[in-house]
Amino acid sequence: MTTVDLPLLPLGRGKDLDAERGVECPGDLPAASDPDLVARATAAKAALGSRVFVLGHHYQRDEVIQFADVTGDSFKLARDAAARPDAEFIVFCGVHFMAESADILTAPEQKVILPDLAAGCSMADMARLAQVEDAWAALTEAGVADQVVPVTYMNSSADIKAFCGKHDGAVCTSSNADVALEWAFAQKPDAKVLFLPDQHLGRNTAVLQMGIALDECVVWDPRQPNGGLTVEQLRDAKMILWKGHCSVHGRFSPDVIDELRAKVPDLNVLVHPECQHEVVLKADLVGSTEFIIKQIEKAPAGSSWAIGTELNLVKRLADAHPELNIMFLDRNVCYCSTMNRIDLPHLVWTLESLVNGEVPNVIEVDPDTEHWAKVALDRMLALPGKSHKD
Ligand code: SF4
Give the Å distance between the CA of 271 and the centre of ligand 1. Answer: 14
31 pLDDT band (50/70/90 cuts)? confident
The answer to whether the annotation marks 335 as part of a ligand binding site is no
Cα–Cα nearest to 270, from 221, 225, 231, 321: 321
pLDDT surpassing 80 at residue 41: yes
pLDDT surpassing 70 at residue 216: yes
Mean pLDDT of 36-54: 96
Q: Is the dihedral of CA 380, 83, 159, 55 positive or negative?
A: negative
Mutate to test the pocket of ligand 1, among 154, 199, 247 (most ligand atoms within 8 A of CB): 247
Between CA 63 and CA 46 the distance in angstroms is 17
Task: Determine the straight-line distance between the first and last CA of the chain, rounded to whole angstroms.
Answer: 39
Give the Å distance between the CA of 218 and the centre of ligand 1. Answer: 23
Nearest alpha carbon, ligand 1 atom 5? 121
The answer to whether the annotation marks 273 as part of a ligand binding site is yes
Helices marked H in 176-284 — which ranges? 177-185, 199-204, 231-236, 254-263, 277-282
Give the Å distance between the CA of 321 and the centre of ligand 1. Answer: 24
Atom of ligand 1 nearest to the CA of 246: 2
Mean pLDDT rounded to a whole number for the chain: 91
For residue 32, the model assigns a pLDDT of 76
The answer to whether the annotation marks 153 as part of a ligand binding site is yes
Better pLDDT: 33 or 132: 132
* 181-192 residue pLDDT tens: 999 999 999 999
- The residue ranges of DSSP E strands in the chain, in sequence order, are 52-57, 70-72, 89-93, 111-113, 148-153, 170-172, 192-196, 217-220, 239-242, 267-271, 285-286, 304-308, 325-328
For residue 28, the model assigns a pLDDT of 67
Cα–Cα nearest to 244, from 184, 310, 194: 194
The answer to whether the annotation marks 226 as part of a ligand binding site is no
Name all residues whose Cβ lies below 6 A of ligand 1: 22, 59, 95, 121-123, 155, 246-248, 310, 336, 338-339
Atom of ligand 1 nearest to the CA of 337: 6
The identity of residue 210, as a single letter, is M
What residues are paired with 177 via a beta bridge? none
For residue 18, the model assigns a pLDDT of 43
Cβ neighbours, 10 Å, residue 212: 19
Give the Å distance between the CA of 336 and the centre of ligand 1. Answer: 6
* 137-176 residue pLDDT tens: 999 999 999 999 999 999 999 999 999 999 999 999 998 9
Atom of ligand 1 nearest to the CA of 198: 3
* 308-361 residue pLDDT tens: 999 999 999 999 999 999 999 988 777 888 998 999 999 999 999 999 999 999
The answer to whether the annotation marks 57 as part of a ligand binding site is yes
Question: Got the DSSP string for 102-115?
Answer: HHHHS-TTSEEE-S
Q: Does residue 160 contact residue 123 with C-beta atoms inside 8 Å?
A: no
The answer to whether the annotation marks 246 as part of a ligand binding site is yes
Q: Residue 138 in 3-state DSSP?
A: helix
Nearest alpha carbon, ligand 1 atom 8? 121
Mean pLDDT of 85-107: 96
Between CA 68 and CA 383 the distance in angstroms is 30
208 pLDDT band (50/70/90 cuts)? very high
Between CA 173 and CA 155 the distance in angstroms is 8
Q: Does residue 333 contact residue 311 with C-beta atoms inside 8 Å?
A: yes
What residues are paired with 170 via a beta bridge? 151
Global confidence as pTM? 0.90
For residue 100, the model assigns a pLDDT of 96
Give me the domains of the chain, ranges plus CATH numbers.
36-120+338-364 (3.40.50.10800), 124-246 (3.40.50.10800), 249-328 (3.40.50.10800)
* 223-275 residue pLDDT tens: 999 999 999 999 999 999 999 999 999 999 999 999 999 999 999 999 999 99
Atom of ligand 1 nearest to the CA of 97: 5
The answer to whether the annotation marks 300 as part of a ligand binding site is no
Q: Which residues are CB-contacts of 59 (< 8 A; sequence separation ≥ 6)?
A: 94, 289, 310, 312, 313, 335, 336, 339
Cα–Cα nearest to 240, from 231, 250, 253, 251: 231
